[in-house]
Amino acid sequence: MASISHSSLAFTGTSSASDLFRSSSNGVSGVPLRALGKVRLGMRRNLAVVAKLRKVKKHEYPWPEDPDPNVKGGVLTHLSHFKPLKEKPKPVTLPFEKPLVDIEKKIIDVRKMANETGLDFSDQIILLENKYNQALKDLYTNLTPIQRVNIARHPNRPTFLDHVFNITDKFVELHGDRAGYDDPAIVTGIGTIDGRRYMFMGHQKGRNTKENIQRNFGMPTPHGYRKAMRMMYYADHHGFPIVTFIDTPGAYADLKSEELGQGEAIAHNLRTMFGLKVPIVSIVIGEGGSGGALAIGCANKLLMLENAVFYVASPEACAAILWKSAKASPKAAEKLKITATELCKLQIADGIIPEPLGGAHADPSWTSQQIKNAINKEMDELHKLDTEALLKHRMMKFRNIGGFQEGIPIDPKKKKNMKKKDEPINVKTPVLDLEGEVEKVKQQILKAKESSNEPPMLPLTETIEKLRKEVDTEFSEAVKALGLKDRFATLREEFSKVNAQNQLLHPALKEKLEKLREEFNQGLASAPNYEDLKYKLDMLKELSKAYDLAEKNKKAAKLKQEVNKKFSDIMDREDVKEKVEALKAEVENSGVSNFNDLDDNLKGKIVELRKELEFEFIDVLKSLGLDVELKSKPVEQTLPSEVKTKIEELNEEINDRIENVINSSDLKDKIELLKLEVAKAGKTPDIAAKNKIVALEQQIRQSIAAAVESSNLKEKHEKLKAEVSKTIESSGGLDGSLKTENPNADSFSFDESRVVGANRTFG
């Protein structure tokens, strides 16, 4: 141990030892007697005192040695050992960011060249900077899950305390679990945001190697979780809302931690958090690994930074378990659904906090401000709940996590060892009971119709579903009675294999289906339950028709309302109003009451305005996904009878030609395949099914168009078109004027006969 030796001090005179000690109580030569390590006293004339001081480590207080008195909020605003780094952290480039680095190097080289040569390269620099910004935007708006994992682990990513110091007005760090330990991997403390006091706690990673070793790379021991639990009880007692920040690869899994009860400490935290009577908001700022993250994450609201991840096992661990290699981590990251977007879809996370392009480390202050705004917003919402509602809200958040999908075919390999599903016992409902239910629904529909209300959709849907099950049961019984059950089962298996492999329907299989269908239809009348089946099927058709009509009317009413609103918006525009008013004034000034008596100039203005408005209305209808047919004066009324006959003959010839083309073997197969794809896709087809259907429709249309063009029908059509045009011109008919039309354009409303639905399916 280092020591400090002092030179001997000589005292003269005849002083006693007591006098010596008394005089030394205030220090000898500035050295207090109680601080002297070793003292040798001799009762000699020349007394010598030798002292050795033990050098101890200076206590580091959380406030600076030379505080600036002008700091806003006072010198003790943030009491914590955490201090800003003296040196700026070195930039770290992730593997997928290398294209950006290349562009940056080019910008630096061009600037260097400009400085050396004195030439103006500003255009090239601006071009490169624009290219860099676009590349950065493209890269960070299309990140893969594993790239987001790498960003969440970025060495320069802002830590918990970085964010806390940015968002709080005052912050005091609190230490210890009151059992003799203070885990630096979890930091807790009280802070204020906009005058509102919160209890903050979170995982703290290091900003460099030294800090990471001190903070154990953000992996807490049981002492850290017990410290967090102590602060939770403290916040609950004093009514402080709790904000937790999650950023850990997981709880520390060494032997000592397990001996000290790592699992028990996490479990205690989980149980405690569900009983706290104050609002809790958790924010994942980096990576949230397994139970180590969940131990401070059982909150009312779980928010995630845009590039944060939250997982039960890291992608590398998952890949090592499932694919026996950590190289499969990109695939594992995709399958685990660990990104903020995916977790919001699964309703595990409640919101996404945006990050700047380049990640949170690109602009930590801006990111912290977004976090602050999110905390204020969520806390304002949670403060409206009383204690009971708050506890229930937290409980239901976790109870609602998890879901399943039905109707997805199981892989045969997985299905092989599965327990066979018990066949459900179908109990038929008596016909009289069904009649009563159907009659009741009919009465409700009639009442709704009389009162101009919407028919009750829920009872109608439930009755239709019930009738469908009844009809299925009756069909199954009929198949069994006719002895066709085994053949149906065999064909169903063959058909399922074709569907699973996305193959075309083999002609032989198609022939089998047609043959079985014919045989079933022929023998159906002899089935013992034929009458019940027919009666139930008729009821189902009747109700289905009513349901389709109600849905159609509902959609039409909604569409009508939307169209009328958009039309009204156009007519209420200032420029349109001015034009209409100006035309009205001109008509009034002309003193003419009949439209036909107006001069050509004024008529032209009215026609021009009408056309202008018509084009705007057409754009509105097209924006709603509708095709538009403009109804003008029927041409047929002005044509001679011989021309009408020619048109009808040409139409018949075209229809015959299209029939012949459709009945050809190649096109017929395509149409059958299209029908099969439509049936497979159902009401909600996925993107792949939609693309297949659109491609097949396009091929069929092209084949029909090619067949029609190859014949002389096109020439006949052109000749007839010219003849019709001549006839119209000679009769002085449709000349683009409004001679026979009402020019009143003050009000416009939606006419369903003018709108043709844009979504059609090839039958």
Tell me, what CATH number does 202's domain have? Answer: 3.90.226.10
- Final residue belonging to a domain, choices 598, 624, 650: 624
Is there a contact between 157 and 206 (Cβ–Cβ < 8 Å)? no
Q: Is residue 687 part of a domain?
A: yes
Same domain, 369 and 479: no
Same domain, 529 and 666: no
Same domain, 197 and 317: yes
CA angle 10, 11, 17 (to 5 degrees): 120
- Alpha carbons 580 and 26: distance in angstroms, whole number: 105
Q: Is residue 24 part of a domain?
A: no
Same domain, 602 and 661: no
Same domain, 618 and 653: no
DSSP state of 41: -
User: CA neighbours within 13 Å on the CB side: how many for 636?
Assistant: 6
Q: Is residue 87 part of a domain?
A: no
> Which pLDDT belongs to residue 20?
38
Same domain, 276 and 160: yes
List, in sequence order, every residue forming a beta bridge with 283; answer none if it has no partner. Answer: 245, 303
DSSP string, 161-173: HHHHHHH-SEEEE
Q: Is residue 515 part of a domain?
A: yes
Same domain, 179 and 132: no
- Final residue belonging to a domain, choices 80, 109, 142: 142
Residue numbers in the chain where pLDDT is lower than 70: 1-78, 403-427, 452, 455, 499-506, 593, 595-596, 627-639, 664-665, 682-683, 710-711, 728-763
> Which pLDDT belongs to residue 414?
55
Same domain, 167 and 226: yes
593, 598, 575, 412: which is closest to 496 by C-alpha?
412
Dihedral sign (CA 201, 206, 211, 217): positive
Q: Is residue 367 part of a domain?
A: yes
Angstrom CA distances, 201 to 151, 186, 223, 349, stand at 23, 7, 14, 19
- Alpha carbons 476 and 218: distance in angstroms, whole number: 63
Same domain, 128 and 192: no
Count of domains forming the chain: 5
Same domain, 133 and 177: no
> Which pLDDT belongs to residue 204?
94
DSSP string, 645-700: HHHHHHHHHHHHHHHHHHTSHHHHHHHHHHHHHHHHH-SS--HHHHHHHHHHHHHH
- Final residue belonging to a domain, choices 660, 687, 709: 709
Same domain, 518 and 590: no
Q: Is residue 56 part of a domain?
A: no
Q: Is residue 744 part of a domain?
A: no
Same domain, 220 and 318: yes
Q: Is residue 22 part of a domain?
A: no
Owning domain of residue 186: 154-400
